[in-house]
Structure 1
Amino acid sequence: MPISLVLRRESGEDIRRASAAYVPADASRDDQLYPLLNGVDPYSNTIFNTRQMRRLRLEAERLLDGPLSDDERESLEQVVEFCREGNRVHRFLWFVGD
């Protein structure tokens, strides 16, 4: 069940697509510590607005401080990068589920 990461404008135009599929970190399943990452639906689309991306970036950065597989680390680094790039009005981060 690959999850694609896409940064889009409000118009729906793609700004950027991740080079690799998003791989959720096992630790992100803790909905108390990582409520936004835990809410990513692998079977449908999950969309974050600019305000939510700020919190999402903090969650991803916190996870990056811990032990991760190479795929999990790469995925979270992409999330952080996309959230930084999307820190403007009318930008949305899409997790496109399978």
Structure 2
Amino acid sequence: MINIQVRDESGKVVARADGGVQWTAAFADLDPGGFPMLQALVPYGDAVFNHRQVPLLLAELDRLPAACDGDWVRQARELCRVVEQGPHRYLWFVGD
């Protein structure tokens, strides 16, 4: 399970998703050219997005294949808004 959080510049967790991303092979099958932000997600590592990358990530979530969809998408969108609302906030996908 990949957990989703918003952290500030000191690393303090500002907000977090109730659930997380259940990793499936469908994520590995995403086209790197069409999904460069989501290509950063791996099941056992962390991926961090800053306020300039969040709009790109949101655009990718809009066209995400059904095989990768789930409640995590809604929660990720909410946390993207948290990143956009404050300075020095980062969206973290934290792998196991």
TM-score, normalized by length of structure 2? 0.82
- The offset of 1:24, in angstroms, is 4.9
Gaps of 5+ in 1: none
- C-alpha RMSD of the superposition: 2.1
Cα distance, 1:59–1:24 mapped onto 2, change above 3 Å: farther
Gaps of 5+ in 2: none
Aligned residues: 93
**Identity percentage over the alignment?**
34
Aligned pair partner of 2:70 in 69, 73, 79 = 73
Contact 1:47 1:95 in 2 (8 A): yes
Q: If each structure's strand is expressed as a fraction of its own residues, which one has the higher value?
A: 2
* Structure 1 runs of 4+ with >3 Å offset: none
Contact 1:24 1:72 in 2 (8 A): no
TM-score, normalized by length of structure 1? 0.81
Q: If each structure's helix is expressed as a fraction of its own residues, which one has the higher value?
A: 1
Residues 1-98 of structure 1 aligned to structure 2 (within 5 Å): 2-24=1-23, 26=26, 29-63=30-64, 68=66, 72-87=69-84, 88-98=86-96
